Amino acid sequence: MQQINYHHLRYFYAIVREGTLTAAAARMNVSQSSLSVQLKQLEENLQCALFNRMHKSLQLTEEGRMVFDYAETIFRTGDEMLATLQNRSGKYKEVLRVGAVATLSRNFQLSFLRPVIDNESVEVVITSASMSELLGQLNAHTIDLVLSNRAVKRDGGNAWQSRLVAEQVISLIGGKQYRKRRRFRFPEDLKDVPMVLPTTESEIRNHFDILMTQHGVRPLIAAEADDMAMLRLLSREIDGISLLPPVVVQDELEQGLLFDLHQLPTLSEHFYAITIERKYPNPLLQLLLND
């Protein structure tokens, strides 16, 4: 029966954490050549390549990502054991790495990830970046899941899978001054009213512009933003009406700071969970995707 050399595993773990052989060698106080030998021996023992060696960079293979996850669990458990013996309670044992596009609603992210966030045995690591950056990380197996408000196309060059996990209605959101008026009339009451809108790169905005053209209304634009967090702030600061999924300003609606004036039934925002086909998927994904 094969036995794992935990010194080799520790060296591999350091390489991944530090990013390069040079940095890992300095961290572990060994020569770079010695570290390379240790890594090669670990790969021979496991009978698989842990890195794709491209030019001078090291990129984890899927097997490498799985081994790293196990290594992290092993070394974290050791740290927890020491902490417990010293009366300091350890907490996390499993890790789920999530990427979220920068424009995505934080409230939606928290709602979707609630099953794992509430699990005290799980650590959730959330990275925010552009879609292209996140898909690159998904391909490199450094994250397990991408959350986005648009799907990605699958073709022969990738193994991405987009699952529709939620759909939110789009509403016109206003402050107390609009709530106090007579019943809001759409689209008449949008004339000459300052509006906070997503930028034209947004599908929501494109559909809204078409709707306004059909009704013969030209919105008076006070501000535009491509980030939902910024749209939330603008909705609170500007005396106008905002085009948003209510989930973005959920707290403000509950507190009576903002009001849902009118839902637009023909407009909605879709939320997708994007994964990639893997031989060793993170089992925590089952809690979120119901696979």
pLDDT tens-digit profile of 197-229? 999 888 889 999 999 999 999 999 999 998 888
Q: What are the chain's domains? A: 6-71 (1.10.10.10), 89-166+272-289 (3.40.190.10), 167-268 (3.40.190.290)
For residue 63, is pLDDT > 70? Answer: yes
Instruction: Please report the pLDDT score of residue 264 as a whole number.
Output: 93
φ, ψ for residue 140, nearest 5 deg: -85, 0
Instruction: Please report the pLDDT score of residue 170 as a whole number.
Output: 94
Closest to 59 (Cα-Cα) out of 160, 144, 141, 125: 141
For residue 84, is pLDDT > 70? Answer: no
Instruction: Please report the pLDDT score of residue 80 as a whole number.
Output: 67
CA–CA gap between residue 118 and residue 132 (Å, rounded)? 29
The single-letter code of the amino acid at 55 is H
Q: Are 68 and 16 in contact (CB under 8 A)?
A: yes
Average of per-residue pLDDT values in the chain: 87
19-62 tens-digit pLDDT: 888 888 898 889 989 999 999 999 999 999 999 877 667 889 99
> What DSSP state is assigned to residue 190?
G
Enumerate residues 6+ apart whose C-beta is below 8 A from 110: 117
Instruction: Please report the pLDDT score of residue 100 as a whole number.
Output: 95
CA–CA gap between residue 241 and residue 170 (Å, rounded)? 13
At 123 the three-state DSSP class reads strand
At 51 the three-state DSSP class reads strand
Instruction: Please report the pLDDT score of residue 102 as a whole number.
Output: 82
Give the count of beta carbons closer than 10 Å to the beta carbon of residue 266.
10
Q: Are 97 and 283 in contact (CB under 8 A)?
A: no
CA–CA gap between residue 109 and residue 291 (Å, rounded)? 19
Q: At what angle do helices 21-28 and 32-46 cross, to 10 degrees?
A: 100
Q: Which of 20-24, 80-84, 96-100, 230-234 shows the lowest per-residue confidence on average (mean pLDDT)?
A: 80-84
Going across the sheet that includes 194-198, the strands are 122-129, 94-101, 145-148, 259-276, 160-174, 241-244, 194-198, 220-225
Q: What is the mean pLDDT of residues 268-279?
A: 90
CA–CA gap between residue 260 and residue 243 (Å, rounded)? 10
Percent of the chain surpassing pLDDT 90: 43
Q: Which of 52-56, 98-102, 137-141, 252-256 shows the lowest per-residue confidence on average (mean pLDDT)?
A: 52-56
CA 24 to chain centroid, in Å, comes to 28
pTM score, two decimals?
0.68
Instruction: Please report the pLDDT score of residue 89 as a whole number.
Output: 52
Q: Are 212 and 187 in contact (CB under 8 A)?
A: yes
